[in-house]
Amino acid sequence: MSDELSGNFIRDIVAEDLRAGKHETVVTRFPPEPNGYLHVGHAKSICLNFGVAQEFGGRCHLRFDDTNPLKEEQEYIDSIKEDVRWLGFDWGEHLYNASDYFDQLYEWAELLIRNGRAYVDDQSADQIRESRGTLTEGGRDSPYRGRSGEENLDLFRRMRAGEFPDGARVLRAKIDMASPNINLRDPVMYRILHARHPMTGDKWCIYPSYDYAHGQSDAIEGVTHSLCTLEFEDHRPLYDWFLEHLPVPSRPRQYEFARLNLSYTVLSKRFLLQLVKEGRVRGWDDPRMPTLSGMRRRGFPPEGIREFARMIGVAKRESVVDYAALEHSARDYLNRTVIRRMAVLRPLKVVITNYPEGQTEEFAAVDNPEDPGAGTHPVPFSPILYIERDDFMEEPPKKFYRLAPGREVRLRYAYLITCREVVKDASGQVVELRCTYDPATRGGTAPDGRSPKATLHWVSAAHARPAEVRLYEHLFKSPEPGAAGDLLADLNPRSEEVLARAWIEPGAAGLAVGERVQFERLGYFCVDPDRSADRLVFNRTVTLRDTWAKVQSRQK
């Protein structure tokens, strides 16, 4: 496991800045745009920003980047707050919006105009894009770049007053159209957008760009370390340019780190929104989605996600993390904390022919073998049981040790049983097994020392409760979705399997929505909100098999 987060380069920078007296306290911020739900990539940033602030006794602000009212919704704002809290972090009184600073940003824009560092451009968006040049060729000056300060100020004020339609004009910073950094080729600061804003209503019809609002918002809030992903590295000179040419109250510094790239996963809000709108998933919180709400619904514990963020660390170089590492972190926490119960997903009926008619008894089942203080719970036993269909084969291969004709197996916590007869329907499908039990093996131990190689889970048919179980695989069938050019073509048609006729032991019937459980031999599951009064619905979070841990063990 990596120790990068306990000694990563950003933490080292913060520690040195505090030691050198550059800052009295550390202030970070998490600045999501409320145009979609947060995903696991955001979790890395949340853990970093809030984690660094907590470690050094500082604070982390939650600031919504609400500069585009066309894409922002209250639903997204509410979900972001819920997700951050679910991960275990709190911003306290430090909840802000970029729109809180619109008046100040406007005043500073006028200042840049008066100082000859901003101008109004009448070119269309396509013309501006075309004239910016390429990575190898410089851009061309706008024909409106030489406007006087008075004309620019008049036009900008008329833009604010709503005199012009959307897209008619923009305000651009006047920097250097020949700069090798395209971001410095007179970037757009304001665009006209006649749209109602969730926070400011109809007060504004011009809205600042992210590049303009970001650094100044940091400065107003006294942010010391503005942590961004690597795609903003080329934007840092522009971030600094605005701070240098405006009378900001503080001077934050931007630092970049590698964003999270996860195998079998797409972390694009635009594409995730497409999946939702086209009905290819149940919604933003579909358990197959990499959104935090989807992971919560699937049963991923926030503690496991925080451990995953710690484990993968913080680096400067982009890399792809194996999805199995995320599952490992979740599995490790779940193994130590959740209760065990038995469930049968694909039931096969077993009749114990020599068990006393009408008799039932109970066995004490361990709640969690990893926790000695967890205790036990009673499991009822009766003559008619359900086992997994996969635990029986009429003609077993050499290394199949589970139930077969004439073979003895152990029922977990109960008895040793032997299959005596196989009952089939008219189509030849096995529908029932008739077995005998050894009364002397109560608890699964034989007095004569015989010990079957297989132990099966089961439920009592008379006491079991019906359940629907949803099994999940990766949403994409390729570890690099879209590598061939088409993301939709890589969607996995088997990403969800719904088993509508599962049975659970009564000890699992009282679980509430969101509660997690290990179904023995099957994996970790979580109660879904789709549950009804007479039927629970479970989502499988992860299987019991930890492939990632095995690979790491071999590499050592």
**The pLDDT value given to residue 555:** 66
Kindly name the residue from 4, 33, 55, 432 that is annotated as catalytic: 33
Residue 6 has pLDDT above 90, yes or no: no
Q: Is the pLDDT of residue 5 over 60?
A: no
Closest CA to 32 of 80, 78, 67, 71: 80
CA distance 193 to 306: 39
| Cα(299)–Cα(526) distance, integer angstroms | 5
Domain regions of the chain by residue span: 4-257, 269-339+467-555, 346-462
Angle at CA of residue 64, ends 58 and 69, nearest 5°: 170
Which stretches of 113-184 are assigned E, i.e. beta strand? Answer: 118-121, 170-173
pLDDT band at residue 552, thresholds of 50, 70 and 90?
confident
CATH 3.40.50.620 is the classification of domain 4-257:
yes
- Per the annotation, the verdict on 33 as an active-site residue is yes
CATH code for residues 269-339+467-555:
1.10.1160.10
Percent of the chain surpassing pLDDT 70: 98
The 10s digit of each residue's pLDDT in 69-102 is: 999 999 999 999 999 999 999 999 999 999 999 9
Nearest to 345 by CA among 519, 217, 476, 156: 519
Looking at 71, 81, 259, 434, which residue is catalytic? 259
What's the pLDDT at 4?
38
Given 44, 63, 269, 540, the catalytic residue: 269
End-to-end CA distance of the chain: 11
Instruction: Give me the chain's average pLDDT, please.
Output: 95
User: CA of 157: how far to CAs of 7, 69, 86, 104, 145, in Å?
Assistant: 50, 20, 44, 15, 17
Give the pLDDT score at 1: 34
Q: Tell me, what's the pLDDT at 224? A: 98
* pLDDT above 90 coverage of the chain, percent: 94
Mean pLDDT over residues 380-393, rounded? 98
May I ask the CATH architecture of the domain 346-462?
Beta Barrel (2.40)
Compute the Cα dihedral for 96, 98, 102, 107 and give only its sign: positive
User: Which tens digits make up the pLDDT trace of 175-214?
Assistant: 999 999 999 999 999 999 999 999 999 999 999 999 999 9
Q: What is the mean pLDDT of residues 223-236?
A: 97
Question: What is the pLDDT averaged over residues 321-329?
Answer: 97
- pLDDT for 3: 38
pTM of structure: 0.93
Residue 556: pLDDT band by 50, 70, 90 thresholds?
low
pLDDT digits (tens, 9 = 90+) for 519-547: 999 999 999 999 988 889 999 999 998 87
E strand or H helix at 272: helix 269-277
269 catalytic residue (yes or no): yes
pLDDT value at position 553?
66
- Closest by CA position to 251, among listed 211, 213, 212, 222: 222
Mean pLDDT of 333-353: 98
Residue 66 has pLDDT above 60, yes or no: yes
Please tell me whether residue 190 adopts helix, strand or coil conformation: strand
Q: How confident is the model at residue 554 (pLDDT cuts 50, 70, 90)?
A: low
